[in-house]
Amino acid sequence: MTTNIVICPATHPANQFSPNSGGIGTASLAWWYWPPTVDSPLNGSYSINSWLFSYPTITDSVFGWLGAPPSVVTNNPQFVFDKPSSVQRPAQTPFFNDAVVWNEWPMEGEAPASDLSTGAAQNIVGMPRCTIWRHGGKTATSATPVRTSMVRPLYLFPNEAAINIGFDDGHAQMVKLKDLWSLYWHYDWKP
C-alpha cells in the first residue's frame, strides 16, 4: 500500500518487494515492509514515535507481524505514554517524523546515525533511525554521504541538517538534527 501521505516528497518509494520481508530506507528512499498478514507491502518514509503506544505482545493475525517488543521497551515500560493524558508536553512530543524505518524508541543517551544519508536502523531502535539529512539546505535525493562522529550531538551535524516532525498537539515543523535531543520523546524524558 502506497499513498502520498506516507511518502515524503523529498524521497521516492521503494519499487522491489518480496512477501514476508522488508527494506530499510535512506534519506532519499522510503522504507518498506510486507508482513505475512497483509495483501500488499507497506511503504513509507515516516516513523511513529513508538513510546506513544503500548506495543502489542500478542501474536494474533492483526499484530503478529510486529513480533516481540524490542528490549528497550521491555526494559523501560515506564517510558511508554500509556494514555493520552500522560503526554505532558504535546507541543514538544514527536508523534511521527522523517526516518528510515516505520517505528522508533529514542533514548536520551543515544548517539546519532554514523551516516546522515543512510541513517541506521539495523538493531538500533532509537535516534539513529531519524538522524538523516532529509531537509534543510538540500534535498535528500541530492544528498551525498555525510559521516558523523560519536560526539555530543550539538556539535556534530551540519547546521542546516533537519527532518520534519509532526507533534502530538497536531502541529508540524522542520527540526534541526542537533535539536532532536531537546524534544520529549518518551515519558520522563530528560533533555
The CA angle 148-154-155, to the nearest 5 degrees, is 55
Domain membership of residue 156 (yes or no) is yes
CA atoms within 13 A on the CB side of 46: 19
3-class SS at 73? helix
- pLDDT band for position 59 (50/70/90)? very low
**Lowest-confidence pick of 75-84, 111-120, 158-167, 174-183:** 111-120
Higher pLDDT, 169 or 19: 169
Domain membership of residue 44 (yes or no) is yes
Domain membership of residue 187 (yes or no) is no
Range of the domain at 23: 4-182
3-class SS at 67? coil
When pLDDT is averaged across residues 27-51 and rounded to a whole number, the result is 87
Domain membership of residue 33 (yes or no) is yes
The total of structural domains in the chain comes to: 1
**Lowest-confidence pick of 37-41, 87-91, 93-97, 131-135:** 37-41
Domain membership of residue 153 (yes or no) is yes
When pLDDT is averaged across residues 141-168 and rounded to a whole number, the result is 65
Terminal Cα distance for the chain, rounded: 36
Give yes or no for a contact between 185 and 93, defined as CB atoms under 8 angstroms apart.
yes
- pLDDT band for position 63 (50/70/90)? very low
- pLDDT band for position 38 (50/70/90)? confident
When pLDDT is averaged across residues 71-96 and rounded to a whole number, the result is 91
Look at residue 149 in the predicted model and tell me its pLDDT. 46
Domain membership of residue 191 (yes or no) is no
Question: What does 95-160 look like in DSSP terms, one character per residue?
Answer: EEEE-SSSEE---TT----SBTTT---SS--SGGGT----BSSS-GGG----B--SS-HHHHS-TT
